C-alpha cells in the first residue's frame, strides 16, 4: 500500500505555521516515513497529483485566489485542518474587517507615510487576485474538520495532530497544546 | 454566627454558612465553579453567566444565588459544561480577541477558561464588531475589542477605589464601557495603581508600561488550568 499523502498551503498568513511544521525537528524523518507530501510549499507542487488524506490550511481568505485554493483543498483532501489563528479567526489580517476596503487601499497605496506612488494608481489588474471585502475565516468558506489554534500552534501540537490523523487515532490535544498565542 | 447550611453539589454533601452564594460555598469546599465577572472582593453581579449551575434542575448563576438547606446543585455535568462552553464561545465571537499580541495573553481569565474547556475554535461565526480604543491616558489604556462587559472595573472603581471612573453606556450590542468624563480616560481621576485596572479579567484595561515582562511558559495559565488552585485545596484535605 502506498503512503498517504498530505497537502499544505499558506493563504493570508505569514508562513509562521509552516515554520512551526518544520519545527518538529528530526521527527520530520518519521513524518516522511508516514506520508508523502503532495501540493505544498515544501514540495513546490502547484497542483494536486492525487487524493490526499490530510490538508493543512494556514491563513484565512483575503482574496478570490485564496477561496479557490481552499475549495480545491476541500475537494482533494479527506480531512481539512485549519492550522493557526489566521485560518480559524482571521486574526491579524482580520483587523481590517472594520475598515472599508477603499480606506485600506488608500492607506496602502496613496496616503501611507512611506508610500511612493507618483501616478496615484491603485493596482487593479485581472492578473492580480481580487481582494475580498473582508477577511473570511476558513470555516466560513468550506467545512473544516479540525482546528489547531495558536500563533503558531506548537510543533508538538502539530505533530500530535498529524500522527493521530494519519494513524486513525482520536485527536486529543493536551492542556498545553491548546494555546491562542 | 450564621447558621450552617447543608446542600449537595454533584452528589456530594457540602456545608456552607447562611448568606453565602453557591459560588462561595463551593469554593470553600474545594469545588471550582468557572466564573469571569465574579471576584471575591466585589459584590456579586451575575453578568457573564459562566458560573451557571443547575439548582434543583434549573439554570442559575452560582455567583448570585444564595445557598439553601437541601438544595441540589449540578455543576460538573455535560449539560452544564455545554452551557458554559457556549457562553465562552459567544464572548469570543462578539468581541475582537487578538490573543497573539495581547498583553494579558497567558494571564487572561477568558482565554484560560477556553483552555480549560479545550476549545480549539468557537462554534459561532465571528461578528468583528467595531470598537473604540482610548489611548488618551499616559499610563493606562482601554481596549474595548477585548472587553467582555463583566463590570469588574465598574464595581472596583466604585467600591474599592471609591472613584466611580467607569460605567456602561448603550444597550444590547452597542453596550460598552465608558468613563466618567466628557469622553477620555485622561480626563478622569483614575490612577495607575487603582484596583479597577488590575482586576480586569481580560486585556481591556492595561497599564502601558511593563507589558510582556513575563516570558511565554512562565505566565499564570501556561501549564495549569484556571481553578487548579481551588481544586488542589480540596485534594490536599
A114 within domain boundaries: no
CA dist., res. B176 & res. B153, Å (int): 12
What ipTM does this complex have?
Answer: 0.93
HEC string for B55-76: ECCEEEECCCCECCCCCEEECC
Same domain, B125 and B164: yes
Partners of B225 on chain A (C-beta within 8 Å) are 175
- State whether residue A145 is helix, strand or coil: coil
Which DSSP state fits B107? T
A125 within domain boundaries: no
Beta carbons of B99 and A146 less than 8 Å apart: no
Distance to chain B for A107, nearest Cα, Å: 19
Same domain, B60 and B139: no
Tell me the per-residue pLDDT of B91-144, one tens digit each, with 9 for 90 and over: 999 999 999 999 999 999 999 999 999 999 999 999 999 999 999 999 999 999
Are B109 and B201 within 8 A, CB to CB?
yes
Q: Domain holding B50: CATH number?
A: 3.10.20.740
Looking at chain A, which residue has its C-alpha nearest residue B93? A89
- pLDDT value at residue B234: 77
Same domain, B168 and B68: no
Distance to chain A for B115, nearest Cα, Å: 6
Residues 6+ apart with CB under 8 A from B162: none
Phi and psi at residue A35, to the nearest 5° = -135, 170
- pLDDT value at residue A40: 95
Same domain, B10 and B108: no
Partners of A173 on chain B (C-beta within 8 Å) are 118, 120
Closest CA to A77 of A139, A10, A126, A5: A5
Instruction: Give the total number of structural domains in chain A.
Output: 1
B121 has a chain A CB within 8 A of its CB? yes
Q: Which of A82, A97, A181 sits opposite B99 (nearest CB)?
A: A181
Closest CA to B39 of B172, B159, B126, B137: B159
Same domain, B193 and B104: yes
CA dist., res. B22 & res. B162, Å (int): 28
A123 within domain boundaries: no
Same domain, B117 and B56: no
Same domain, B22 and B109: no
Beta carbons of B222 and A176 less than 8 Å apart: yes
CA dist., res. B123 & res. B207, Å (int): 32
**Percent of chain B scoring above 90 in pLDDT:** 94
B100 within domain boundaries: yes
> Which residue in the block uniquely carries the three cell numbers 499610563?
B139
Looking at chain B, which residue has its C-alpha nearest residue A89? B126
A14 within domain boundaries: yes
Average pLDDT, chain A: 95
Beta carbons of A92 and B98 less than 8 Å apart: yes
B185 within domain boundaries: yes
A105 within domain boundaries: no
Beta carbons of B100 and A85 less than 8 Å apart: yes
Closest CA to B62 of B84, B82, B35: B35
Tell me the per-residue pLDDT of B53-84, one tens digit each, with 9 for 90 and over: 999 999 999 999 999 999 999 999 999 999 99
Domain of A21 in residue numbering reads as 5-95+134-177
Are A147 and A82 within 8 A, CB to CB?
yes
Same domain, B54 and B108: no
Q: Domain holding A52: CATH number?
A: 3.40.50.700
Same domain, B71 and B92: no
Distance to chain B for A42, nearest Cα, Å: 25
- State whether residue B6 is helix, strand or coil: strand
Q: With bands split at pLDDT 50, 70 and 90, how would you rate the model's confidence at B147?
A: very high
CA dist., res. A49 & res. A35, Å (int): 14
Beta carbons of A85 and B99 less than 8 Å apart: yes
Domain of B107 in residue numbering reads as 88-207
Same domain, B102 and B200: yes
Looking at chain A, which residue has its C-alpha nearest residue B225? A175
Question: Mean of the pLDDT values across residues A107-112?
Answer: 96
Same domain, B121 and B193: yes
B179 within domain boundaries: yes
Residues 6+ apart with CB under 8 A from A68: none
Residues 88-117 of B with CB under 8 A from A: 96-102, 105-106, 111, 114-116
Are B179 and B134 within 8 A, CB to CB?
yes
Question: Mean of the pLDDT values across residues A154-179?
Answer: 94
A155 within domain boundaries: yes
A149 within domain boundaries: yes
DSSP-H helix ranges across B94-148: 109-116
Tell me the per-residue pLDDT of B155-175, one tens digit each, with 9 for 90 and over: 999 999 999 999 999 999 899
Same domain, B17 and B42: yes
Amino acid at each position: 500500500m502506498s503512503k498517504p499523502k498530505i497537502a499544505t498551503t499558506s493563504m493570508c498568513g505569514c508562513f509562521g505555521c509552516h515554520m512551526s511544521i518544520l519545527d518538529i525537528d528530526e521527527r520530520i524523518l518519521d513524518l516522511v516515513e508516514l506520508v508523502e507530501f503532495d501540493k505544498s510549499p515544501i514540495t513546490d507542487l502547484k497542483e494536486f497529483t492525487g487524493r490526499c488524506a490530510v490538508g493543512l490550511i494556514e491563513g484565512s481568505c483575503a482574496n478570490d485566489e485564496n477561496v479557490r485554493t481552499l475549495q480545491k483543498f476541500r475537494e482533494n483532501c479527506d480531512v481539512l485542518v485549519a492550522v493557526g489563528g489566521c485560518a480559524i479567526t482571521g486574526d491579524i489580517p482580520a483587523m481590517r474587517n472594520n475598515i472599508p476596503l477603499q480606506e485600506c487601499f488608500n492607506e496602502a497605496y496613496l496616503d501611507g507615510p512611506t508610500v511612493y506612488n507618483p501616478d496615484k494608481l491603485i493596482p487593479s489588474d485581472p492578473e492580480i487576485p481580487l481582494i475580498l471585502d473582508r477577511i473570511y475565516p476558513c470555516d466560513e468558506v468550506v467545512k473544516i474538520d479540525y482546528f489547531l489554534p495558536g500563533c503558531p500552534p506548537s510543533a508538538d501540537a502539530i505533530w500530535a495532530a498529524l500522527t493521530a490523523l494519519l494513524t486513525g487515532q482520536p485527536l486529543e490535544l493536551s492542556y498545553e497544546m491548546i494555546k491562542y498565542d | 454566627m450564621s447558621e450552617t447550611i447543608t446542600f449537595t453539589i454533584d452528589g456530594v454533601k457540602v456545608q456552607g454558612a447562611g448568606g453565602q452564594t453557591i459560588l462561595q460555598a463551593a469554593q470553600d469546599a474545594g469545588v471550582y465553579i468557572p466564573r469571569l465577572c465574579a471576584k471575591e472582593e466585589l459584590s456579586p453581579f451575575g453578568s457573564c453567566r459562566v458560573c451557571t449551575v443547575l439548582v434543583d434542575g434549573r439554570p442559575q448563576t452560582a455567583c448570585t444565588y444564595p445557598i439553601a438547606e437541601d438544595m441540589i446543585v449540578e455543576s460538573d455535568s455535560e449539560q452544564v459544561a455545554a452551557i458554559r462552553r457556549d457562553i465562552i464561545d459567544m464572548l469570543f465571537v462578539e468581541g475582537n480577541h487578538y490573543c497573539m499580541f495581547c498583553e494579558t495573553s497567558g494571564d487572561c481569565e477568558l482565554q484560560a477558561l477556553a483552555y480549560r474547556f479545550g476549545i480549539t475554535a468557537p462554534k459561532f461565526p465571528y461578528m468583528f464588531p467595531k470598537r473604540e480604543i482610548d489611548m488618551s491616558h499616559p499610563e493606562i489604556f482601554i481596549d474595548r475589542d477585548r472587553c467582555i462587559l463583566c463590570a469588574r472595573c465598574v464595581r472596583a472603581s466604585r467600591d474599592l477605589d471609591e472613584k466611580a471612573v467607569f460605567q456602561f453606556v448603550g444597550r444590547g450590542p452597542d453596550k460598552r464601557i465608558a468613563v466618567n468624563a466628557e469622553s477620555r480616560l485622561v480626563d478622569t481621576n483614575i490612577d495607575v495603581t487603582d484596583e479597577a485596572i488590575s482586576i480586569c479579567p481580560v486585556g481591556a484595561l492595561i497599564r502601558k508600561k511593563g507589558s510582556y515582562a513575563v516570558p511565554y511558559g512562565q505566565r499564570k495559565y501556561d501549564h495549569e488550568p484556571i481553578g487548579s488552585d481551588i481544586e488542589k485545596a480540596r485534594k490536599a484535605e
